[in-house]
Structure 1
Amino acid sequence: MNSAITGTGSYVPSLLVANQQFEQNEFLNSDGSPFKHPNPVIIEKFQAITGIAERRYAEANLNTSDIAFLAAEKAIADAGIDKEELDYIIFAHNFGDVAHGQSQGDTLPSLASRVKHLLRIKNVKCVAYDLLFGCPGWIEGVIQANAFIKSGIAKKCLVIGAETLSRIVDPFDRDSMIYSDGAGATIVAADTEGGQLLSHASGTYAHDEAFFLFYGKSYKNDAKKDTKYIKMYGRKIYEFAVTHVPGAMKSCLDESGVAISDIKKIFIHQANEKMDEAIVKRFYGLYNMEVPDGIMPMNIREMGNSSVATIPTLFDMVRNGKLENHQIQKGDVVIFASVGAGMNVNAIVYKV
């Protein structure tokens, strides 16, 4: 039995925050010392590297589980299924529900259970659970849904990736400009005529790399010591990603039996424009090829990095003709690939 993505949906928050809105921030180095350059220069360099010009933040009255529910409703409607037919709800996130103005994550009950509650699903055999796998969480959720379908224990799964990263960033850390909020959802279902997950690859590098992304204190020395924020070693992550993600993509593609020339699109985690370009360039370099024009849809310039939500949101946009100059058709073969905290990498080769 094939596993196909039969429906997609996303929620893009309405609060748009442009780079210029950070010009009054007090950005500090990790030791608490001020930067030598003024904020307009810092922001200009930031945009040149990441590609991010603006990002979206969730409305104050909405939490991660709320925006996930809104994306899930769209995916269920798009697939044209009865929500009571769902066998699994797999919710990929990393920080739980973080109320506006707070910094503590809430995962009791699980966010998947909260989405099931909001959807008003009565079927007790619809199993809802959370998945923590860093930014590659949505891809890993699709891989798990595929396993359930292949084994015969499920026919329809709802896989969600959602996050409100704007609520766990240190305002004194310039990396705070990277992160954003969003939600993407997909229905993965048994299908003999539609799409097909052809192959997948995953890996966890936790020997020396486990804490490249971590929870740490504010760069402001007199800030509350017991409040933690998302932190990262950017250079180490960049080097890790361009080293390991292309290999995972190649392994996945070679296993699928699809020729690299037949790949129509690569949906890569929207982490950093320069890093994503370097990953794809190195991937094609493994086949002694140049990167084809238009192979890599990107929305990071307008959306920022919403972690697990980036790929399902991007795929939903392209699938529904909402990203200029990018389309996919039935029968096209695409690659999904991601890297993130853990450190985890994964990839899927999928026939639309």
Structure 2
Amino acid sequence: MTQTSKFPAFASNSHITAIGSYVPEKTITNSDIEKLVDTDNDWIVRRTGIEQRHQAASDQLTSHLAIAAVRDMLSRFPDIFPQDIDGILVATTTADRPFPSVASQVQEAIGATKCLAVDVSAACAGFVTALQMANGLILTGAYRKIVVIGAETLTRITDYTDRSTCILFGDGAGAVLVEAAAKGAFLSSNASTDGSGGIQVYINDSQYIVQNGREVYKWALTTVPNGVLDLLQAVGKRIDELDWFVPHSANLRMIEAICERLELPPEKALESVVRNGNTSAASIPLALDAAYKEGKLNSGQLIALYGFGSGLTQSGLLLRWTLEQKV
């Protein structure tokens, strides 16, 4: 499989100015999984680090989770007015239906009266891909405030008779506001796809997730570290200058192995997998918001976001965090 390609740093005038998240109330614990398949809590934690995952209610669709995440953001940052939002990008592989888009339903729900609304399908790389797209739209000068959302209801496409996958997936949503800025904070980006590996993670005819975990693990360990180093090298930064690494939270053991390859202390990695499971496009914004609420994110910190998954596709973004802690 191919290595991730190098992309030069690009001039940017975007930064993140608000954040929000939402997870459903219901949880699926490892004890619950034990009742469904031949497994146990110790094995699940040892192999994945996952302790629980959230499950949407029967009447909750992906759009409902996305809307809840944006409303959480708006309630926490009351100086944001929906009528000023001119773009909504929703990264998801579990849209309510083929159309209308989840983004259009978010637009209607929050009252953003004049804005672009588009769904982005890039699996676990979707949120970072949508951030890259938001930055590109802002660079045109036609857009100034774009909401980027990662939202998934993966439990609806999880086969709870498949021991290898049913322990992994959960539901949730996270959102950020990307705004134009006099001095941009998006420093470098990269992306690559190896379509020959698409057979490793896919939806089968029964509409369930099928994953060759061993092959995906090998691919991530050989490509993601190189991609992260590319992001840093593009702007003359070293791995020891990185304050936080926020990879897709597929599996805690995978994150630890990637950190080892990067010679990065694992405590510098932000994750959402332990309490939420693998939430695909939602995993990175969920990890960011959890860290923000805990006071870990401070203005000026250097952060690498890196999504990777089905496709096989990956997207990286290096940025300066500019969002101050709320008092």
TM-score (norm 1): 0.84
The amino acid that maps onto 2:306 is A
Structure 1 CA distance for aligned equivalents of residues 280 and 157 of structure 2: 13
Structure 1 CA distance for aligned equivalents of residues 152 and 241 of structure 2: 33
Query: How many residues are aligned here?
Result: 308
Specify which of 219, 223, 227 is matched with residue 248 of structure 1. 227
Assess if the C-alpha contact under 8 Å between 1:7 and 1:77 holds in 2: no
Structure 2 CA distance for aligned equivalents of residues 182 and 16 of structure 1: 11
Give the equivalent residue in structure 1 for 2:320: 351
Assess if the C-alpha contact under 8 Å between 1:256 and 1:349 holds in 2: no
Assess if the C-alpha contact under 8 Å between 2:22 and 2:174 holds in 1: yes
Assess if the C-alpha contact under 8 Å between 1:136 and 1:345 holds in 2: yes
Assess if the C-alpha contact under 8 Å between 2:30 and 2:44 holds in 1: no
Give the equivalent residue in structure 2 for 1:14: 25
Structure 1 CA distance for aligned equivalents of residues 265 and 67 of structure 2: 36
Give the equivalent residue in structure 2 for 1:93: 92
Assess if the C-alpha contact under 8 Å between 2:232 and 2:318 holds in 1: yes
Structure 1 CA distance for aligned equivalents of residues 14 and 76 of structure 2: 17
Query: Which 5+ residue runs of structure 2 have no aligned equivalent?
Result: 1-11, 322-327
Structure 2 CA distance for aligned equivalents of residues 145 and 86 of structure 1: 12
Counterpart of 1:201 in 2: which secondary structure? strand
Identify if the C-alpha distance between structure 1 residues 163 and 46 changes in structure 2 by more than 3 Å, giving closer, same or farther.
Answer: same
Is 2:276 the counterpart of 1:303?
yes
Q: What's the CA shift for 1:75?
A: 2.5
Q: Deviations over 1:71-112 (max 9, x none)?
A: 112224445221111121101000212xxxxxxxx1321111
Q: Deviations over 1:104-153 (max 9, x none)?
A: xx132111111111112222xx0101100011100000000011112212
Counterpart of 1:176 in 2: which secondary structure? coil
Q: Deviations over 1:268-321 (max 9, x none)?
A: 11101111111122123xxxxxx2362112331111111100100110111122
Give the equivalent residue in structure 1 for 2:261: 282
Q: Deviations over 1:188-241 (max 9, x none)?
A: 001226x601011111111x2122111125xxxxxxxxx320111110100000
Counterpart of 1:257 in 2: which secondary structure? coil
Is 2:165 the counterpart of 1:188?
no
Give the equivalent residue in structure 2 for 1:23: 34
The amino acid that maps onto 1:39 is T
Assess if the C-alpha contact under 8 Å between 2:93 and 2:123 holds in 1: yes
Structure 2 CA distance for aligned equivalents of residues 239 and 292 of structure 1: 21
> Which deviates the most, 148-157 or 178-187?
148-157
Counterpart of 2:172 in 1: which secondary structure? strand
Assess if the C-alpha contact under 8 Å between 2:160 and 2:166 holds in 1: yes
1:96-245 alignment to 2 at 5 Å?
A: 96-97=95-96, 106-123=97-114, 126-174=115-163, 175-192=165-182, 196-206=185-195, 208-216=196-204, 227-245=206-224
Assess if the C-alpha contact under 8 Å between 1:15 and 1:56 holds in 2: yes
Counterpart of 2:226 in 1: which secondary structure? helix
Assess if the C-alpha contact under 8 Å between 1:136 and 1:340 holds in 2: yes
Give the equivalent residue in structure 2 for 1:57: 55
Structure 1 CA distance for aligned equivalents of residues 307 and 260 of structure 2: 15
Q: Give the share of equivalent positions with the same residue, in percent.
A: 31
Give the equivalent residue in structure 2 for 1:3: 14
Structure 2 CA distance for aligned equivalents of residues 259 and 214 of structure 1: 35
Structure 1 CA distance for aligned equivalents of residues 265 and 278 of structure 2: 24
Give the equivalent residue in structure 2 for 1:82: 81
Give the equivalent residue in structure 1 for 2:8: none
